[in-house]
Amino acid sequence: MLLPAMLLDHPWELVMPHAATWAAVLGVALLSTALAYVLHFRILATAGASNLLLVTFLIPVSAILLGVLVLHETLLPRHVMGMALIGAGLAFLDGRLPRLLLQRVRTAA
């Protein structure tokens, strides 16, 4: 659908991208897209939809940690609190936290 609009820009007159640019595009396509989909559907097939949902909640945590480690961003207390809340939410959704709390209530009683 966008081909006619693209042709208005005369792409044949533009400078060809360097090999490093093509390699970057290929790396993004293969690693960030294709590999991510393969992993996504592999986890879906082996662990099920509910466990896959738990894995997707870890995306913000990994983004924060990669930002700190790779980009040398500042880790603020609110980031740590957010990661702790995500961890507690994951434990609760998984059923481990309610089982642990129920077990402690039974042992205390």
Question: What are the pLDDT tens digits along the chain (109 aa)?
Answer: 888 888 888 888 889 999 999 999 998 988 888 888 898 899 899 988 888 888 888 899 999 999 999 999 999 999 999 999 998 888 888 777 788 888 888 888 7
Residues 53, 59, 62, 66, Cα dihedral to 10°: 160
For residue 85, give both structure tokens.
């809340």
Q: What angle do CA 89, 34, 60 make, to 5 degrees?
A: 25
For residue 101, give both structure tokens.
């709390």
Angstrom distance (rounded) from CA 75 to CA 69? 10
